[in-house]
Amino acid sequence: MGKWAKEHGLLLANLALFLMFFGGMIISGAAAYSEDQTAHGEPAVSILGYLATGQFVEATFENWESEFLQMAMYVILTVFLFQKGSSESKPMGRTAPQDQDPRDARIKHSTPWPVKRGGVVLKLYEHSLSALLLVLFLASFSLHALGGTEEYNQEQQSHGQPTVTLLGYLATSRFWFESFQNWQSEFLAVAVLVGASVYLREKGSPESKPVAEPHYETGA
């Protein structure tokens, strides 16, 4: 068990942090939602009741969509684009291991089965990472829209205003403001990491070049 945990420590730590912060979001979100409800003469909700509200769905997937968009675009852009001196870029002037054609690889027992199978299966596998991230982005985008529509209509009804359809909500400035305010921050964070990794270091991290490496050296 100890060996397995060590081998999967990075994933386990991130999942644990996700669950901790997600739990905090749910508890604090339910409290804030109930405070708003009581301020308007409406009944408070339980934590489980909060999970069924449009506000929770909207808030959750509004953030998830930006994360998956960021990671999908980062995976795709780093296939074609370079940043001289950055550890986040493939090396310049030479072929990177990621560019090698798997069809020319020597088949071993440990070779992933799509590579052994070849054909369409391999073609899909070659782009499976970006495909998964884009699917998760589209799913989160859709759920953001659905939850946002419910929350928006609840607010409209409380103010005696007409409700809207899903397509109607997609046409509102509110929906796109919520999306753009998250998207811009994600790409700013990536730009800072890409640029800062040219000149700054973090000893022991694979996201950083070796501390003594020259600034102009590109890639890990």
Chain segment 150-162, per-residue pLDDT in tens: 999 999 998 899 9
Amino acid 57: pLDDT: 97
Structure confidence by residue, pLDDT tens digits, 198-208: 999 999 998 89
- 203 CA to centre of own chain: 26
Structure confidence by residue, pLDDT tens digits, 37-93: 998 888 999 999 999 999 999 999 999 999 999 999 999 999 999 999 999 998 888
In b/e form, how buried is each residue of 43-81, taking b as 16+ CB within 10 angstroms? eebeeeebeebbbbbbbbbbbbbbebbbbbbbbeebeee
Mean pLDDT of the chain: 94
pTM of this prediction exceeds 0.75: yes
Residue bearing the bigger pLDDT, 94 or 128:
128
Q: CB-based contacts of 210: which residues, under 8 Å, 6+ apart?
A: 201
Alpha helices (H) in the chain, listed in sequence order = 2-7, 9-39, 47-51, 54-80, 113-117, 119-126, 128-158, 166-170, 173-199
Amino acid 220: pLDDT: 65
Q: CB-based contacts of 8: which residues, under 8 Å, 6+ apart?
A: none
Amino acid 1: pLDDT: 78
Amino acid 74: pLDDT: 96
Q: Which residue has the tokens 């739990």?
A: 23
Amino acid 194: pLDDT: 94
Amino acid 71: pLDDT: 97
